Chains A and B, each alone.
Chain A
Amino acid sequence: MSPQTKPAFRVGKTQLDLLEELTNANGVSGNETEIREIIRKKVAPYTDEIKVDAMGNLLVVKHAKSPNAFRVMLDAHMDEVGFMIVEEDGDGLYEFEQVGGGDERQFVSKSVTVGSEKMPGVIGSKPIHLAEAEEMHTVISQHGMRIDLGPAGKGKAKRGDFAAYATKFIRSGGAVFAKALDNRLGCATLIELLKTAPENIELLAAFTVQEEIGLRGAMVAAYDFYPQLAIAVDSTPAFDFERPDGSENTQYNCKLGGGPAIYIADRGTLSDPRLIRFLTRIAEDHGINYQYRQPGGGGTDAGALQLTRGGIPSVSVSVPGRYAHTAVMLARISDWQDTLNLLQHALAAITPEILSGDRA
């Protein structure tokens, strides 16, 4: 049994306030400005270089104390899934299209905000009283839905305006409910890690854009940073439910309460085994709760990071969550705290030597 050390990080009011501010703000893929500005203000006192690249990524550097230090990149995408107004339909009603992957069964009966002015609106559905019996068994199609600003919203929104869910952050005991925990949890993690950056490494933090529509920001951010090692920090859907028929759920990704989920393989990445071993050892040495995400589908920015230039050893670490890509996500504070602790200890211990051995 490894000695239980006092966790370096406690998620307290400061961290939860940060997460609340980040999740209540809007940053649908392609429109991440609001998130970027919040992060820029938060990290400015703790960093040596800040720039915004051509894609809108926020690239932050905290120098090592010595020259030619090991270049470690942390990545968290800023963007969230949402909607775009594509056509006005009269009477305050607007046709919309999805931005990022969503399940249309999740859209009905939600409140949204539209455009930079955050005009309040709703996505409603036909009253049950007017629905025919057979309709009740069919999925309501997105193409029949409208974003509704109310009759006085006529002409107020325009084609190309972004819309995001209007959900406000709620804390309940050890859990938080919020929109966009995927991936403001990752953003908040990077912000906290920058505050306590170790002196031994050149810490390269990328807050990236457009992950939800194809890992586009990460690709160019990694090119610019050209790190020797990269870690994508994200939130992964846990799928840790009891199956309705009572049989064992063997298809969960990870479990809430199980600590950070270390990726081994997903649709786009085979994590570098040396990094998996390193993170595992750090977790074991410090008595930090951790779990491996079940190998399978899904993907993170690591899929783009690893392919950069001649290739970059990469791994993903995710805070487990539920109901990703819907109006309200759920995560446990303890899992976030464990993730912060794992990564902080990892950064402090990281050396080029962890990559000196063979991959296998």
Chain B
Amino acid sequence: MENITPFLLSLLSKPGISGYEEPVSELIAEKWRLLVDELTITPLRSLHGLRKAAAKEKRPTLMIAAHMDAIGLMVKKVEHGFLSITTVGGIDPRMLPGQLVTVHGKKELPGLVQIMPDRLVNNQTSSKAPSKDQLFVDTGMSEKELAGLVKPGDLVSLGQPPFELTGGYIAGHSIDNRASVAALTIALQEIRNYNLDCNVVAAATSQEEVFAVGAATSAFSVRPDLAFAVDVTFAKGPGSTDYRTFPLGEGPAIGVGANNHPALTKKISVIAEELDIPYFLEAMPTSSGTDGMAMQITANGIPTQVLGMSLRYMHTSVEMASLKDIARVGRLLARFITELNPTSYAALFEEKTI
């Protein structure tokens, strides 16, 4: 298997805030171009890579989707040489003080998110949790130097560089969900030399972190017969210990519950056992909070399965993932693809699993 780490590190070094995914999309397109038969970009900027079945006759179509967008910040106002900001996607303002960022103004500027010192906040005698409106970005430039370079609406992406940890782990921002984009890439690499008996559309979707509009429209334009939404889930870690969390690096999480088609849950679990890949069933009592929600209810409905790897510190700039788990998700998807054909597809949904 090709070492995916350099590609993943390059993905993590590119901005791609929801709605503005081009920088990361271009990098993915460059990688996938050699792995698929056709590349297309949807009107809402999801990237689709199609691997066609070898036969001309009708074959089932599988969509494997991972959102490529990332959470970030946006400039609200430029005042006295400082930028006030708002968030794009779910960001805990408490993790923002001291964050290095890149301000995408007329040119790219390094910046730093900070909070007003207590001594300058009226009537504040003790430290309070930072809230969005107390935070600002300092570019180090004076008011005069900054004039004309940055305007309201300009994007601000997290700028802390990604890095490898000891023993096969990686940390950085946007691992949610570039880790899954890497897993899709591994799957495409694994099936490269196979004649497929199904069509596969790998989709790097846009805007998951805001409204999952990328996945909804991608699923509609592909109209797959079945689909996987690949996304990260929570790893056990400080303050995160309940049933929603899984040991980091000890195997993928396979969703179970209404957002997941039971036949797919069962099939992917069986594949994991055959490949000797450890996994966890992730209880999703009502919803998955992933692209899978939108995909399942597209058009007249698509059998959907949520699959992913656990991550510590989700939506911070130090998200932590296991490279082994990323590869495991890629291998599960590859095996599912190579086993998918008209007969197995029919068998999958004939079974009385409901």
A interface, CB within 8 angstroms of B? 91, 93, 103-106, 108-111, 119-131, 136-140, 144-146, 148-153, 156, 166-168, 170, 172-177, 237, 239, 241-245, 247, 249, 251, 256-257, 322-323, 326-328, 330, 332
Contact = CB atoms under 8 A, between A and B. Distances in A.
Interface in B88-143: 90-100, 109-110, 112, 114-117, 119-122, 127-131, 133-134, 138-142
Contacts of B131: 137
Contacts of B249: 151-152
Nearest to A245: B122
A122 to B, nearest CB: 4
Contacts of B127: 103-105, 139
A105 B94 contact: yes
Most-contacted residue by chain A among B99, B114, B236, B316 (CB, 10 A): B316
B270 to A, nearest CB: 27
A-B pairs with the 5 shortest C-beta distances? A152-B167, A175-B140, A124-B313, A122-B318, A150-B169
B122 to A, nearest CB: 6
Given A122-B171, A126-B238, A244-B120, 14 more contacts: A109-B96, A109-B98, A128-B92, A128-B315, A130-B234, A130-B242, A139-B94, A140-B129, A146-B237, A148-B313, A150-B169, A150-B320, A170-B100, A239-B120
Given A120-B171, A121-B165, A109 B120 contact: no
Nearest to A237: B117
Contact of A328 (B100, B129, B163): B100
A153 B121 CA distance: 41
B120 A120 contact: no
Given A105-B115, A139-B127, A120 B100 contact: no
B165 A130 contact: no
B316 A108 contact: yes
Most-contacted residue by chain B among A122, A123, A177, A239 (CB, 10 A): A122
B331 interface: no
A128 B130 contact: no
Judged by DSSP, the binding face of A is loop
Contacts of A327: 98
A151 B320 CA distance: 10
B240 interface: yes
Contact of B240 (A122, A123, A126, A152): A126
A147 to B, nearest CB: 10
A149 B240 CA distance: 17
Contact of B112 (A136, A245, A330): A330
B192 interface: no
B168 interface: yes
Given A110-B318, A151-B248, A173-B140, A244 B134 contact: yes
17 contacts: A105-B127, A106-B97, A108-B316, A109-B96, A110-B317, A128-B91, A130-B242, A131-B92, A136-B92, A139-B129, A144-B239, A145-B238, A150-B248, A153-B166, A177-B112, A323-B98, A326-B97
